[in-house]
Amino acid sequence: EAQVTQNPRYLITVTGKKLTVTCSQNMNHEYMSWYRQDPGLGLRQIYYSMNVEVTDKGDVPEGYKVSRKEKRNFPLILESPSPNQTSLYFCASSRFGRPSYEQYFGPGTRLTVT
């Protein structure tokens, strides 16, 4: 089954404790992306990757890092989480190039930073 998986699905952590949210897709997609969703602000792109070893900032990259060492994986790293990073996070993937219309989203990771 074609899917994007994220782990963990729920996480409560404390300020400053490094964490990684994993994202994996089994569709051999070139493009992967991270979004965060907050009430009243909708979904905003954090980082994206066009292919292995190619990453770039989205609209809200501050406080986050990513890496793309393998095509299937695109982890999101919070080196020193803060309460304003409490949010619902989604990973997405799609094939790159025209048309790139269908993005597949993961189930989401709900992160709480206290």
Partner 1 sequence: DAKTTQPTSMDCAEGRAANLPCNHSTISGNEYVYWYRQIHSQGPQYIIHGLKNNETNEMASLIITEDRKSSTLILPHATLRDTAVYYCIVRVDVDGNTGKLIFGQGTTLQVKP
CA distance 112 to 2: 29
Tell whether residue 108 is a contact of partner 1 (CB under 8 A). Answer: yes
CA distances from 112 to 21, 79, 81, 85, 96 (A): 13, 15, 10, 8, 32
Please report how close the Cβ of residue 93 comes to partner 1 at its closest, in angstroms: 10
- Residue of the chain from 1, 69, 99, 114 that contacts partner 1 (CB under 8 A): 99
Number of residues that bind partner 1 (CB under 8 A): 29
Please identify which residue in 8, 16, 83, 107 interacts with partner 1, judged by CB under 8 A.
107
DSSP state of 71: S
